[in-house]
Amino acid sequence: MDFFIADAHAQGGGGGDPTFSFIMLIALFAVFYFVLIRPQSKRQKEHKAMVAGLSKGDEVVTNGGLLGKITNVGDSFVTLEVTEGTQVKVQRVSVAALMPKGTIRSD
């Protein structure tokens, strides 16, 4: 009957090498750290520095896709001029990217 059902490997007696299991666990953690955790914390630091350095006249894009020029900078909020005469107040942390000067063209 052995050819229909394979013998269980646990019947052989010993298990695997515990040192190998521990090394694999450490290696898995290292992969997660270098692939997921480290790049994410680097992006967070860059974003925090960019938000702290916002100043009047900078052209930015918000997380919602709104493109505008900063006209006023407060502690928690910035005022964006989307078009001439239209200003919107948004949170500083919602600024996603700093655009190069001249992105917004005045026609």
Domain shared by 61 and 74, yes or no: yes
pLDDT of residue 99: 93
pLDDT of residue 45: 96
Euclidean distance between CA atoms 67 and 64, whole angstroms: 9
Question: How many CB atoms neighbour CB 68 within 10 A?
Answer: 23
Instruction: Please check whether residue 69 is in contact with residue 97, taking contact to mean a CB–CB distance below 8 angstroms.
Output: no
Domain shared by 68 and 92, yes or no: yes
Domain residues for 69? Answer: 55-99
Instruction: Please check whether residue 96 is in contact with residue 63, taking contact to mean a CB–CB distance below 8 angstroms.
Output: yes
In tens, the pLDDT along 26-72 reads 999 999 999 999 999 999 999 999 999 999 999 999 999 999 999 99
Domain shared by 44 and 64, yes or no: no
Query: Which are the contacts of 93, defined by CB distance < 8 A and separation ≥ 6?
Result: 51
